[in-house]
């Protein structure tokens, strides 16, 4: 007899003495089973599974005598149930497809979101021993957490003892020159020790040496993506040069694929870099006490040192640095206390998105629950139709167990199919989800459908099978005779019980739906409030663009000033432009904060503090459409040779001048006892949002860019004075001006890239992007939940109406009006809905607290949102009740009574 | 449809097979006697089984005859469906017995 | 009176009642006799045969000379007197039920 390999393989599972004693007889017996089953229409594969189980269970105790008299084993019954279930499902294809499709969507959505949650929150960082990696921040005073300044970093490194290694990094933008289309790329300036601290190594070439770290050599390491995009994955790239900021850097290495650093997520230096260069602090940076707190620092703790211990040490060291290292002038000036804090690196990266992701996962889980309740209703209905068959099984078998097993196998089959389809769907859904979030959600790009995700899908499918199937399984196995043998028209205790079960299912659905609706309403309201916030400028018809003049092409302040002056003049002359200006920062961002003091502050007011500052040129305020409240705005007449002036915003006027007239008062940089030259306040501007729409406005000043000393303009290490943001107001649709703007820049310098071209409206929209995303997604979930619940109640009422046709006919015959019948059905439905609300509203009240950190200007218990959610839910529920109610009211009493 | 009756069900149906109505207690007794105590039903087991067979339409309740007062006791009789099932199972048993005779495990019937 | 034995044991013993057989033939025989209702699986069958041997109802014997098989030397099984008695007792029990069924006119006499 031909002997398939798998038969021999299963035979090998038997103990050796069996095989020796039985020899070929064992294999022949197995082959005979395959042939026998095939005659009965069973695939050899299935038989193979049974043979496998048979071989394995042979050695379990209790399998010899435990079989009932028919010789059935559990496995045989399960397989028989499975075949029966397949037959049943094929006989009702629409039903099966509906259920599988619903499950596929719900499980697929769950899987997609879980895969992101897994990649972002659960998996550890892709570095060596990531639990030992921490991020260290400096703080000034108690309010701001910032990066390290270069001298502070050096002092810190010399004093701490908790770390195997420390490394610093900072984002920068360089111009990529020497290509057809010059562009600006993201660069990270990194310590040579960074690779060691992370425990990574370049895929090609080498990391930076310590000498390169301090020596200012022009070497670079490319990211893998950049290497592929710009150099076609050239394997001989090491040693070639690349032109950054018009200087020639030598490539010494390429990072492996999948290395994405810095990671988005932390508040500082969170833009993944295309190119890495040594951090090479300049002399100015190394002596810059009290300013430029902009370096991110990470460290690898010694084995056994906890983050808490390192945190305590950091705080102590920060105080010591301030006392021992900081210049006396700063200390006496009331410079705020220095703090340092240590956070686990994973927490620093993902801490901000954790809440959102968990909320999304919970919401999509609730959706699955609602979908399962719908399916349970469907299966209960079908169970009623198969009652007789189930009853016979119950009578002939050993009790309820075989029937329950059959129903659970059916549900399990549906859930398995739904889960498998869902897994496939999840791939697409995951891609969709990622394209909308991967910019802002750190580590999201690592989300894949791997083993853990598949396990999650399997668990979700099993859970769904249980939720959908347990209730119908119980009900099927306890069918009462009266409910089944009597005619369908008359109500009885059995259908009363059934009505109760349906009622509970529908009420649960609506309870879940209202929780999602309330959450969605809160987020939508929050987003609306955010967008309604006055940003302080008129963003319509304004174009912004970012420029940066590299030192190589523009070594002197004169060249820089000349460039911008000419550019702004020419832009002003472009037809359609009403005003053109430039500033070091656009609205909704601020990078520069300084110590500040007021001359003769009002009584009881601390005249010193730290405020935001921006430098402007051209007709900036006019281009922005800012409101001038007192005095005047800055003008081109405020030049290098005229008096030093500033304008302030309302918040600063309020905080530092109280009710007094600020115009013509004097202010200066620095502390009360040690400050720079006085500057005169010439105007007060209406508040413009700095750190996004959601945060309150900080006190801010604007200075004329023309009045910055030449040395700073040319040599400031952050390059802030040679990288101005253009702001152009137009009388025509702003996007039509973009080509003209680009053309003017190209005229002045063909190699200069211009980036970040967007309208100010887009800038405002971008700052609300995450709120918009939250609102959209949760709103979509809430909508789907409501739809599913509406289907549930519509279906249940339709069944109820069709079962009570006779009763309705009697009522109509006895004089009830169609309207009364309609009212009766609607009341029946709305009672269920109210029951759901009774559970759901308190649940929503309790659970929306978790949304608090995602909301803007809206409390977690905002009554308007809750009322709106309830109203929408009731409206939809009413609509869902309408169709069956109308059908009930149209019952023809004569026909109904005849159908006894 | 499963193919064979459980021993419990078969014996209950057998007890009703002559189509006379029988009380629950009498069923217990007859089954116990016939199986020599192997199948000894408690009242609750019996009534659970009876309920399932009622649902399946294998047996039916009949009004008790000749009541002399006290609580009415329920009588059951077999239905046609139940008869068919019981007969099929009995035939299966009879075939097995015939096999046994053929192999000279049992003496031939007189 | 002995306790009743499980149905599959009864069928196995019936198979061996008039002839020594090896596992494959027992499987086919039982399948045929029960009209395809009782399907024995190899692992379960041999384990049951082992238990029957331990209980003294069957014995394993060497392959008889000239026994047909697909190649190799399958083990044969033979019923013991104790096995015969147990099988007969079970058959008597069943005969009693059949008789009761006849008395009640469930079966034709």
Q: pLDDT per residue over A442-467, tens digit each?
A: 888 788 888 899 999 999 999 999 88
Same-domain check for residues A748 and A773: no
In this complex, do C101 and B14 lie within 8 Å of one another by their Cβ atoms? yes
Torsion angle defined by CA atoms of residues A72, A74, A75 and A80, in that order, rounded to the nearest 10 degrees: 70
C85 close contact with A: CB closer than 8 A: no
Q: Is the four-CA dihedral A45, A50, A51, A55 of positive or negative sign? A: positive
- Give me the pLDDT at residue A333, please: 67
Nearest chain B residue to C14 by CA distance is B100
Same-domain check for residues A723 and A826: no
Whether the pLDDT of residue A59 is over 80: the answer is no
State the average pLDDT over residues A78-85. Answer: 81
Chain A CB contacts of C40 under 8 Å are: 71
In this complex, do A51 and C51 lie within 8 Å of one another by their Cβ atoms? no
Average pLDDT, chain B: 79
Query: Which residues, in sequence order, are bridge partners of residue A667?
Result: A598, A679
State the average pLDDT over residues B15-20. Answer: 85
Whether the pLDDT of residue A899 is over 70: the answer is no
Same-domain check for residues A280 and A171: yes
pTM tops 0.80 = no
- Give the rounded percent of residues in chain A with a pLDDT score beyond 90: 41
How many DSSP H helices and E strands does chain C contain? Answer: 4, 3
In this complex, do C46 and A23 lie within 8 Å of one another by their Cβ atoms? no
Q: Which of C8, C46, C70 sits opposite A71 (nearest CB)?
A: C8
Average pLDDT, chain A: 86
Q: Higher confidence at residue A880 or residue B105?
A: A880
Q: Does residue A71 fall inside a structural domain?
A: no
Place A545 in a pLDDT band, splitting at 50, 70 and 90: very high
A124: number of Cβ within 10 Å: 11
- Characterize the bridge pairing of strands A275-278 and A183-190: parallel
Whether the pLDDT of residue A564 is over 70: the answer is yes
Chain B CB contacts of A395 under 8 Å are: 9, 49, 52-53, 55-56, 58
Contact A547, A745 (CB under 8 A): yes
Q: Residues of B near A (CB-CB distance < 8 A)?
A: 1-7, 9, 48-49, 51-58, 85
A21 close contact with C: CB closer than 8 A: yes
Q: Subunits that touch chain C (at least 3 Cβ pairs < 8 angstroms)?
A: A, B
Contacts of A138 (CB under 8 A, 6+ apart): A145, A146, A147, A148, A149, A152, A293, A318, A338, A339, A340
Q: Does residue A366 fall inside a structural domain?
A: yes
The helix (run of H) or strand (run of E) holding residue A171 is strand A163-176
Residue A652 vs residues A368, A695, A704, B46: alpha-carbon distances, Å = 52, 16, 18, 89
**What is the C-alpha separation between A656 and A680, in angstroms, rounded?**
14
Contact A314, A351 (CB under 8 A): no
Whether the pLDDT of residue A485 is over 50: the answer is no
In this complex, do B6 and A481 lie within 8 Å of one another by their Cβ atoms? no
At residue C35, the 3 state secondary structure works out as coil
At residue C59, the 3 state secondary structure works out as strand
Q: What is the DSSP letter of A612?
A: E
- Give me the pLDDT at residue A484, please: 41
**What is the C-alpha separation between B33 and B23, in angstroms, rounded?**
16
The domain boundary, picked from A40, A66, A92, lies at A66
Q: Does residue A345 fall inside a structural domain?
A: no
Nearest chain C residue to B85 by CA distance is C106
Q: Does residue B68 fall inside a structural domain?
A: yes
At residue A646, the 3 state secondary structure works out as strand
Smallest CA–CA distance, residue C70 to chain A, in Å, is: 7
Place A91 in a pLDDT band, splitting at 50, 70 and 90: confident
For residue B61, give its domain range.
Answer: 7-102
Q: pLDDT per residue over A290-306, tens digit each?
A: 778 889 999 999 999 99
Contacts of B101 (CB under 8 A, 6+ apart): B107, B108, B109, C91
Same-domain check for residues A710 and A652: yes
**What is the C-alpha separation between A528 and A525, in angstroms, rounded?**
5
In chain A, the largest separation of any two C-alpha atoms, in whole Å, equals: 110
| Residue A366 in tokens | 């609730």
Smallest CA–CA distance, residue B83 to chain A, in Å, is: 14
Q: DSSP letters along A423-457, please?
A: HHHHHHHHHHHHHHHTTTSTTGGG----HHHHHHH
State the average pLDDT over residues A795-821. Answer: 83
Place B43 in a pLDDT band, splitting at 50, 70 and 90: confident
Same-domain check for residues A638 and A773: no
In this complex, do A33 and C24 lie within 8 Å of one another by their Cβ atoms? no
> Nearest 5°: CA angle at A771, between A766 and A776?
105
Place A509 in a pLDDT band, splitting at 50, 70 and 90: very high
**What is the C-alpha separation between C59 and C21, in angstroms, rounded?**
11
Q: pLDDT per residue over A200-243, tens digit each?
A: 999 999 999 988 888 888 999 999 999 999 898 889 999 999 99
Q: Each residue of A479-494: b (16+ CB within 10 Å) or e? A: bbbebbeeeebeeeeb
Q: Is A444 exposed, middle or buried (0-12, 13-18, 19+ CB in 10 A)?
A: buried
Q: Does residue B107 fall inside a structural domain?
A: no
Q: Does residue B109 fall inside a structural domain?
A: no
Query: Which residues, in sequence order, are bridge partners of residue A254?
Result: A204, A222
Same-domain check for residues A312 and A365: no
Place A396 in a pLDDT band, splitting at 50, 70 and 90: low
Total domains present in chain A: 4
Q: Higher confidence at residue A69 or residue A389?
A: A389
Q: Does residue A344 fall inside a structural domain?
A: no
CATH number of the domain where residue B56 is located: 1.10.10.10
Whether the pLDDT of residue C25 is over 70: the answer is yes
Q: What is the DSSP letter of A243?
A: E
A51 close contact with C: CB closer than 8 A: yes
A208: number of Cβ within 10 Å: 25
C91 close contact with B: CB closer than 8 A: yes
Q: Does residue A685 fall inside a structural domain?
A: yes
Same-domain check for residues A691 and A584: yes
Contact A708, A547 (CB under 8 A): no
Chain C CB contacts of A24 under 8 Å are: 69-72, 74
Same-domain check for residues A300 and A165: yes
For the ranges A79-93, A326-340, A441-455, C35-49, which has the lowest average pLDDT?
A326-340
For residue A317, give its domain range.
Answer: 143-335
Same-domain check for residues A673 and A793: no
Place A508 in a pLDDT band, splitting at 50, 70 and 90: very high
- Give me the pLDDT at residue A479, please: 56
Tell which residue, A502, A433, A290, has the closest CA to residue A781: A433
Same-domain check for residues A194 and A54: no
Whether the pLDDT of residue B48 is over 70: the answer is yes
Place A572 in a pLDDT band, splitting at 50, 70 and 90: very high
SS3 sequence of A352-368: HHHHHHHHHHHHHHHHH
Smallest CA–CA distance, residue A409 to chain C, in Å, is: 22
Q: Is the ipTM of this complex over 0.90?
A: no
Q: pLDDT per residue over C65-76, tens digit each?
A: 666 555 556 788
Q: DSSP letters along A555-589, please?
A: -SHHHHHHHHHHHHHHHHHSTTEEEEEEESS-TT-
Q: Which of residues 47-66 of C touch B (CB under 8 A)?
A: none
Tell which residue, A612, A606, A607, A631, has the closest CA to residue A621: A631
φ, ψ of residue A164 to 5 degrees: the values are: -70, -35
For the ranges A257-261, A534-538, B61-65, B92-96, which has the lowest average pLDDT?
B61-65
- Give the rounded percent of residues in chain A with a pLDDT score beyond 70: 92
| Residue A22 in tokens | 């039985």
Q: Which of A28, A64, A73 sits opposite C51 (nearest CB)?
A: A64
**What is the C-alpha separation between A857 and A854, in angstroms, rounded?**
10
**What is the C-alpha separation between C50 and A17, in angstroms, rounded?**
12
Chain A CB contacts of C32 under 8 Å are: none
Place A897 in a pLDDT band, splitting at 50, 70 and 90: confident
Same-domain check for residues A370 and A236: no
* Max avg pLDDT among A607-616, A806-815, C75-84: C75-84
Mutation target to probe the A interface, by most A beta carbons within 10 A, among C9, C15, C24 is C24
State the average pLDDT over residues A429-437. Answer: 83
- Give me the pLDDT at residue A624, please: 92
Q: Subunits that touch chain A (at least 3 Cβ pairs < 8 angstroms)?
A: B, C
Chain A CB contacts of B51 under 8 Å are: 481
Q: DSSP letters along A709-725, please?
A: -HHHHHH-TT-GGG-PE
| Residue A171 in tokens | 């984002």
The helix (run of H) or strand (run of E) holding residue A151 is helix A150-159
Q: Does residue B94 fall inside a structural domain?
A: yes
For the ranges A256-270, A308-322, A806-820, which has the lowest average pLDDT?
A806-820
Q: Higher confidence at residue A24 or residue A366?
A: A366
Total domains present in chain B: 1
In this complex, do B55 and A395 lie within 8 Å of one another by their Cβ atoms? yes
> Nearest 5°: CA angle at A202, between A198 and A204?
175
Q: pLDDT per residue over B66-94, tens digit each?
A: 555 555 567 888 988 888 888 988 988 89
- Pairs of residues, one from chain A and one from chain C, whose beta carbons lie less than 8 Å apart: 92
The residue to which tokens 């359609």 are assigned: A576
Domains of chain C and any CATH numbers: 7-103 (1.10.10.10)
Q: Does residue B1 fall inside a structural domain?
A: no
In this complex, do B4 and C101 lie within 8 Å of one another by their Cβ atoms? no
Whether the pLDDT of residue A194 is over 50: the answer is yes
Neighbouring C-alpha atoms within 13 Å toward the C-beta of A386: 24
Whether the pLDDT of residue C95 is over 70: the answer is yes
For the ranges A53-67, A108-122, A612-626, which has the lowest average pLDDT?
A53-67
* Max avg pLDDT among A242-256, A785-799, B85-99, C25-39: A242-256
Place A19 in a pLDDT band, splitting at 50, 70 and 90: confident
Nearest chain B residue to C15 by CA distance is B103
Q: Which of B5, B7, B55 sits opposite A394 (nearest CB)?
A: B55
- Give the rounded percent of residues in chain C with a pLDDT score beyond 90: 20
Average pLDDT, chain C: 84
Q: Higher confidence at residue B108 or residue A706?
A: A706
- Give me the pLDDT at residue A488, please: 42
The total number of residues written for chain A in this structure: 900
């Amino acid at each position: 007899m031909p002997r398939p390999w798998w038969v021999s393989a299963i035979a090998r599972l038997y103990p050796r003495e069996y095989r020796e004693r039985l020899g070929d007889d064992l294999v022949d017996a197995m082959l005979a089973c395959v042939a026998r089953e095939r005659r009965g229409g069973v695939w050899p594969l299935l038989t193979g599974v049974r043979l496998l189980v048979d071989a394995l269970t042979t050695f379990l105790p209790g399998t010899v005598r435990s079989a009932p008299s028919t010789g059935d084993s559990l496995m045989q019954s399960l397989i028989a149930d499975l075949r029966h279930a397949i037959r049943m499902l094929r006989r009702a294809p629409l039903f099966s497809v509906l259920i599988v499709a619903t499950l596929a969507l719900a499980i697929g959505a769950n899987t997609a979101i879980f895969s992101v949650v897994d990649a972002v929150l659960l998996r550890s960082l892709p570095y060596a021993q990531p639990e030992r990696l921490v991020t260290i921040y400096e703080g000034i005073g108690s309010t701001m957490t910032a990066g390290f300044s270069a001298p502070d970093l050096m002092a810190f490194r010399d004093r701490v003892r908790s770390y195997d290694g420390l490394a610093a990094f900072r984002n920068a933008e360089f111009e990529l020159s020497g290509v057809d289309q010059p562009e600006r790329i993201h660069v990270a300036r990194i310590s040579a020790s960074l690779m060691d601290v992370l425990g990574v190594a370049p895929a090609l070439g080498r990391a930076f040496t310590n000498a390169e770290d301090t020596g200012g050599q022009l070497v670079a390491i490319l990211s893998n993506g950049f290497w592929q995009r710009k150099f076609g994955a050239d394997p001989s790239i090491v040693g070639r040069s690349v032109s950054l900021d018009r200087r020639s850097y030598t490539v010494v290495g390429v990072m492996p694929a999948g290395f994405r650093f810095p990671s988005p997520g932390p508040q500082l230096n969170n833009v993944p870099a295309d190119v890495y260069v040594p951090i090479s602090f300049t002399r100015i940076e190394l002596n810059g006490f009290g300013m430029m707190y902009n370096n991110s620092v990470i460290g690898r703790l010694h084995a056994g040192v906890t983050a808490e211990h390192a945190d305590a040490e950091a705080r102590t060291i920060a105080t010591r640095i301030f006392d021992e290292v900081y210049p006396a002038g700063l200390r006496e000036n009331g410079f705020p206390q220095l703090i340092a804090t240590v956070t686990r690196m994973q927490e620093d990266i993902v801490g901000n998105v954790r809440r959102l992701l968990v909320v999304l996962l919970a919401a999509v889980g609730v959706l699955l629950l609602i979908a399962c309740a719908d399916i349970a209703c469907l299966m209960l209905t079908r169970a009623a139709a198969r009652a007789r068959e189930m009853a016979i099984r119950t009578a002939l078998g050993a009790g309820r167990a075989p029937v329950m097993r059959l129903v659970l196998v059916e549900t399990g089959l549906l859930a398995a199919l739904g889960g498998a389809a869902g897994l496939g769907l999840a791939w697409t859904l995951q891609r969709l989800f990622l394209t909308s979030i991967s910019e802002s959600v750190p580590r999201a790009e690592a989300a894949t459908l791997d083993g853990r995700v598949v396990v999650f899908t399997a668990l979700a499918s099993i859970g769904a099978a249980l939720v959908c199937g347990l209730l119908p399984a119980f009900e099927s196995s306890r069918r009462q005779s009266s409910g089944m043998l009597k005619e369908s028209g008359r109500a009885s205790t059995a259908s009363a019980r059934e009505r109760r079960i349906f009622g509970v299912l529908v009420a649960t659905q609506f309870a879940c739906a209202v929780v999602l609706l309330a959450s969605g309403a809160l987020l939508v309201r929050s987003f609306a409030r955010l967008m309604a916030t006055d940003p302080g400028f008129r963003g319509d018809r304004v174009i912004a663009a970012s420029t940066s003049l590299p030192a190589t092409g523009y070594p002197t302040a004169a060249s820089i000033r000349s460039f911008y002056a000419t550019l702004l003049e020419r832009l002003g002359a472009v037809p359609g432009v009403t005003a053109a200006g430039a500033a070091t920062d656009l609205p909704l961002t601020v990078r520069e904060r300084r110590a500040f003091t007021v001359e003769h502050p009002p009584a009881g007011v601390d005249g010193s503090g730290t405020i935001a500052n921006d430098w402007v040129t051209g007709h900036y305020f006019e281009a922005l459409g800012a409101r001038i409240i007192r005095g005047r705005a800055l003008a081109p007449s405020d030049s290098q040779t005229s008096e030093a002036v500033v304008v302030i915003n309302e918040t600063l006027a309020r905080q530092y001048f109280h009710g007094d007239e600020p115009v013509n008062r004097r202010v200066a940089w620095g502390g009360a006892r040690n400050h720079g030259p006085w500057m005169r306040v010439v105007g007060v501007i209406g508040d413009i949002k700095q750190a996004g729409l959601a945060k309150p406005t900080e006190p801010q000043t604007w200075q004329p860019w023309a009045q910055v000393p030449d040395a700073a303009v040319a040599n400031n290490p952050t390059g802030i004075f040679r990288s101005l943001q253009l702001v152009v107001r137009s009388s025509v649709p702003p996007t039509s001006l973009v080509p003209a703007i680009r053309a003017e820049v190209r005229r002045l310098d063909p190699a200069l890239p211009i980036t970040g071209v967007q309208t100010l409206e887009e800038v405002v929209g971008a700052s609300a992007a995450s709120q918009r995303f939250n609102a959209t997604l949760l709103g979509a979930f809430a909508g789907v939940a409501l739809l599913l619940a509406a289907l549930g109640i519509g279906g249940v009422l339709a069944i109820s109406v069709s079962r009570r046709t006779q009763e309705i006919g009697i009522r109509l015959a006895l004089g009830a009006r169609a309207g009364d019948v309609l009212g009766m059905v609607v009341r029946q439905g709305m009672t269920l809905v109210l029951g759901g609300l009774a559970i759901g509203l308190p649940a929503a009240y309790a659970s929306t607290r978790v949304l608090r950190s995602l909301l803007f200007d809206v409390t977690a218990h905002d009554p308007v949102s809750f009322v709106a959610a309830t109203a929408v839910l009731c409206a939809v529920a009413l609509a869902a009740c309408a169709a069956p109610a109308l059908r009930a009211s149209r019952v023809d009493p004569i026909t109904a009574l005849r159908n006894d | 449809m499963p193919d064979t009756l459980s021993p419990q069900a078969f014996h209950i149906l057998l007890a009703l097979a002559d189509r006379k109505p029988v009380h629950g207690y009498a069923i217990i007794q007859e089954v116990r006697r016939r199986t020599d105590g192997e199948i000894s039903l408690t009242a609750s087991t019996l009534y659970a089984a009876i309920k399932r067979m009622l649902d399946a339409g294998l047996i039916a309740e009949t009004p008790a005859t000749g009541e002399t007062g006290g609580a009415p006791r329920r009588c059951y009789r077999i239905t046609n469906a139940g008869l068919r099932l019981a007969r099929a199972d009995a035939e299966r048993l009879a075939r097995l017995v015939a096999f046994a005779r053929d192999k000279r495990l049992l003496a031939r019937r007189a | 009176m002995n306790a009743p034995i499980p149905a599959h044991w009864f069928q196995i013993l019936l198979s061996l009642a008039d002839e020594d057989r090896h596992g494959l033939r027992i499987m086919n025989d039982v399948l045929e006799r029960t009209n395809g209702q009782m399907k024995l699986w190899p692992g379960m069958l041999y384990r049951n045969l082992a238990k029957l041997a331990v209980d003294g109802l069957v014995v394993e014997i060497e392959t008889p000379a000239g026994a047909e098989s697909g190649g190799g030397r399958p083990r044969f099984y033979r019923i013991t007197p104790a096995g015969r008695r147990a099988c007969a007792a079970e058959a008597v029990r069943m005969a009693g039920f059949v008789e009761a069924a006849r008395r009640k006119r469930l079966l034709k006499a």
